[in-house]
Chain A
Amino acid sequence: MSNTGDDDGRKTPVKDFHSMAKVSVGQILGLVEAVDEVGGLADAATISREVEMDVDRLGPILTAAEFLGLVTIEDGDIRITELSRKLLTANVRERKRIVREIIDDMPAFRLVMEMARSSGAPLGRQQVVQALADRVGSHQAEDVFNALVYWGRYAELVRYDSGSEQLTVRIAQT
């Protein structure tokens, strides 16, 4: 997993989560399917041509897929992982479970779980964004928060009510 340098190593992973902010579940699954279809290994240019998306749009999706451990990227070659193969044969519900297992111990989620546990009440949006801003800077905090809500909802880890802007952590399913 690539780690762009940051002066505080402990806090870096939360920042990495930022790569998932502008990427949807469908895009990542679509990418994995596309690589699988050409044999599980392809260079970025081939995939870009194959799915008719330029590298500009594909880049964030590749980064996020790598971040989730679904592909490895070496010298511009994209290779799908064992985890991806599991994902490909899974049905809709199993896919959610697999993604949940990948992301539920990511620092961004652990942070929210921690906050929820210690406050014992739903978390306000502002409160979470503030906590994130302390780690990733206010510039990216909103993005990370949106990613947290989107992926957290998909993985059924969090509930979010955009009307009252309150985030609840769902009971951990093990």
Chain B
Amino acid sequence: MRGLRGRLRILASIAILVAIAVAVFYPQAAWNAIQLPLFAVFSTTRMVFAYLLSLVFAITYGATAATNKRAAVIMLPILDVLQSVPILGFFPAALVFFVVTFQGSPVGIELAVIFLIFTSMAWNMAFGVYESLTTIPVDLEAAAASFGLRGMLRFRLLALPAAIPKLVYNSILSWSNGWFFLVASETFTAFGGTYTRPGLGSFITNAGLAGDATGIALGIGVLAAVVLALDTIVWRPLGVWSERFRMETTGHEVPRVPSPYERFRWLPRFPRLRRTFWASAQPVVTRYRRASVRLDRTYSAHPKVLRDIRFLDLAMFAVILLLVVVAGVFGLARLFLSPLPPAAAELPRAAASSFVRLALAYAIALAWTIPLAAWIGRSPRGSRYLTPVLEVAASLPATALLPIIVGFAILVTASLGPAAEVSAVLIALFSMQWYLLFNLIAGVRAIPDDLNEAARSFGLRGRAYWRRVLLPGMVPSLLTGSITAWGAGWNALIVSEYIPFLNPPPHVSGLGYLLDIATFNKPLPDNEMILLTILTMIVIVLAMNKLLWRPLYKRASVKYRVEV
């Protein structure tokens, strides 16, 4: 309740301040503001399409992997790679594909944007579905089987509900990821031209390009408002609602699952209207249910046909996979058999400087998030007042802050070269820090009260308390946060190392820069370099995951797990 009020109050204050500033100083900018709601609708629509696509993908992919052990052997590693690879790296390639296929028509660009957002949402949702379906309690499965639940009925009554908690949780993450990519993709310069689709992201970018400070502020303000509004009226209630689908633990306390819109009780609720709506919707729902049951029975009457369809399905999947693998191997072979392009010599140095940049941003992020998380996690007051502010700040995708960050960097360093360096690190910082902060806060909160009290009663204070209680308690969440943060960091490189909108474009050496110029800087994309750069990134990311984060995580989960 307080969180909500706090957020609303902050939102209102921001809106009022911005409105006053606009009205007083820039009456002409008011014209811009009129377009913004429409742009917000455009951007949100793109997000919704991408999300629905991801949802369908996640459910089918996750369910197939969970029910078909043989398919899972290949499907899971693919998902794993896709999830940990910097997706933005594929954007250029996807763009080329869509733009060429649709001959530069807006439809192609829209599809490219939606596809990009999709790639930032889909994988962890699919994992969520897979994990939920494979962890359904044995007895529940047995009950479903022995009471004859099959096909759609089993899906509706068992599989889908069981997947809902993780699906909703991962959807929330995916959705906020999506904003980052939305802003990054609504405007881009390629093949000697600039493609723009109307939306909040392109509005902010264009304002930045024109040096229009109010435009930037307005755009960012509206984006923040949209993100927070959707969060408040859609995602949070969904999160609360998804609690109903949690498997019971053996605890004896009866957990109360409040109504998802409990915090909105004060709003008018139109009971008559709602009843009328449900009354008219009910026949449709009933008809759908009956039809699905009938369909089920028809299906299960022909188990052989069903098996054949499944087999065909699997065969098709295998063929597509084979084609992809063959094409990939072929491409790679061609790449490495022919002499490497001269630009490839830059790869090691670029990789090193990108890595150093991310490491620097990571260090800065750690330096401020650990103490702050330690304080917020233990102080109810701090949490009450600061959390809403931090949530507003975190709701802004780093890509939207790009114009501000670049402007700030130029202001501070007063010359383009160092400015590019500073802004690249800052953008990486802004993409990484929130994952660390919120994970760490959760980690601190998860330290049991008993442990804190025991520590206090034994006189652990100051540094000893940090060393013995707080830091160890933070380790698991620190690692979780770090994995996500580094993933976000690699994506940020692609937008931060080369900013094509400015003239001359500021840039720093790095993998993101190499990728960008290979794609956009020539009349035709340099396929060899694109492939080589993405490969380098993938190798680094996978190596870090496999050699650094996973082993650390495994050790930490044994050593620091707090028994409950």
Chain-B contact segment, one of A4-12, A44-52, A89-97, A161-169: A161-169
- A163 engages B254 (CB within 8 Å): no
- B259 engages A146 (CB within 8 Å): no
Residue B257 is within 8 A (CB to CB) of chain A in the complex: yes
- Binary flags per residue of B235-270, CB closer than 8 Å to A gives 1, else 0: 000000000000000000010111100000000000
- Binary flags per residue of A148-174, CB closer than 8 Å to B gives 1, else 0: 000000000000001111000000000
Question: Which residue of B is nearest A146, CB measured?
Answer: B254
Q: How far is the CB of B267 from the nearest CB of chain A, in Å? A: 15
A163 contacts across to B, CB distance below 8 A: 259
Task: State which of B254, B257, B259 has its C-beta within 8 Å of the C-beta of A164.
Answer: B259
A146 contacts across to B, CB distance below 8 A: 254
Q: Report the separation of the CA atoms of residues A146 and B259 in the bound assembly, to the nearest whole angstrom.
A: 17
Q: Report the separation of the CA atoms of residues A165 and B256 in the bound assembly, to the nearest whole angstrom.
A: 10
Interface size on B, residues (CB 8 A): 5
B257 contacts across to A, CB distance below 8 A: 162
Q: Report the separation of the CA atoms of residues A77 and B256 in the bound assembly, to the nearest whole angstrom.
A: 38
Q: How far is the CB of B143 from the nearest CB of chain A, in Å? A: 22
Q: How far is the CB of B266 from the nearest CB of chain A, in Å? A: 12
- Binary flags per residue of A4-47, CB closer than 8 Å to B gives 1, else 0: 00000000000000000000000000000000000000000000
B254 contacts across to A, CB distance below 8 A: 146
B259 contacts across to A, CB distance below 8 A: 163-165
Q: Report the separation of the CA atoms of residues A163 and B257 in the bound assembly, to the nearest whole angstrom.
A: 8
Q: Report the separation of the CA atoms of residues A146 and B257 in the bound assembly, to the nearest whole angstrom.
A: 13
Q: Report the separation of the CA atoms of residues A157 and B259 in the bound assembly, to the nearest whole angstrom.
A: 24
Question: Which residue of B is nearest A165, CB measured?
Answer: B259
Q: How far is the CB of B146 from the nearest CB of chain A, in Å? A: 25
- Binary flags per residue of A109-132, CB closer than 8 Å to B gives 1, else 0: 000000000000000000000000
Question: Which residue of B is nearest A22, CB measured?
Answer: B252
Question: Which residue of B is nearest A164, CB measured?
Answer: B259
Q: Report the separation of the CA atoms of residues A164 and B258 in the bound assembly, to the nearest whole angstrom.
A: 9
Q: How far is the CB of A95 from the nearest CB of chain B, in Å? A: 23
B256 contacts across to A, CB distance below 8 A: 162
Q: Report the separation of the CA atoms of residues A163 and B256 in the bound assembly, to the nearest whole angstrom.
A: 10
Q: Report the separation of the CA atoms of residues A162 and B256 in the bound assembly, to the nearest whole angstrom.
A: 9
Question: Which residue of A is nearest B252, CB measured?
Answer: A22
B258 contacts across to A, CB distance below 8 A: 165
Question: Which residue of B is nearest A145, CB measured?
Answer: B256
Q: Report the separation of the CA atoms of residues A149 and B491 in the bound assembly, to the nearest whole angstrom.
A: 53
Q: Report the separation of the CA atoms of residues A164 and B257 in the bound assembly, to the nearest whole angstrom.
A: 11
Q: Report the separation of the CA atoms of residues A164 and B259 in the bound assembly, to the nearest whole angstrom.
A: 7
Q: Report the separation of the CA atoms of residues A162 and B259 in the bound assembly, to the nearest whole angstrom.
A: 9
Q: Report the separation of the CA atoms of residues A15 and B257 in the bound assembly, to the nearest whole angstrom.
A: 25
Q: How far is the CB of A56 from the nearest CB of chain B, in Å? A: 13
Q: How far is the CB of A121 from the nearest CB of chain B, in Å? A: 11
Q: How far is the CB of A48 from the nearest CB of chain B, in Å? A: 20
Q: Report the separation of the CA atoms of residues A164 and B261 in the bound assembly, to the nearest whole angstrom.
A: 10
Q: How far is the CB of B101 from the nearest CB of chain A, in Å? A: 48
Q: Report the separation of the CA atoms of residues A146 and B256 in the bound assembly, to the nearest whole angstrom.
A: 10
A164 contacts across to B, CB distance below 8 A: 259
Q: How far is the CB of A163 from the nearest CB of chain B, in Å? A: 7
Question: Which residue of A is nearest B265, CB measured?
Answer: A126
Question: Which residue of A is nearest B244, CB measured?
Answer: A163
Q: How far is the CB of B223 from the nearest CB of chain A, in Å? A: 35
Q: Report the separation of the CA atoms of residues A162 and B260 in the bound assembly, to the nearest whole angstrom.
A: 12
Q: How far is the CB of B440 from the nearest CB of chain A, in Å? A: 32
Q: Report the separation of the CA atoms of residues A163 and B261 in the bound assembly, to the nearest whole angstrom.
A: 11
- Binary flags per residue of A57-100, CB closer than 8 Å to B gives 1, else 0: 00000000000000000000000000000000000000000000
CB-defined A-B contacts under 8 Å, sample of 6? A146-B254, A162-B256, A162-B257, A163-B259, A165-B258, A165-B259
The 7 closest A-B pairs by CB, nearest first: A165-B259, A146-B254, A164-B259, A163-B259, A162-B257, A165-B258, A162-B256
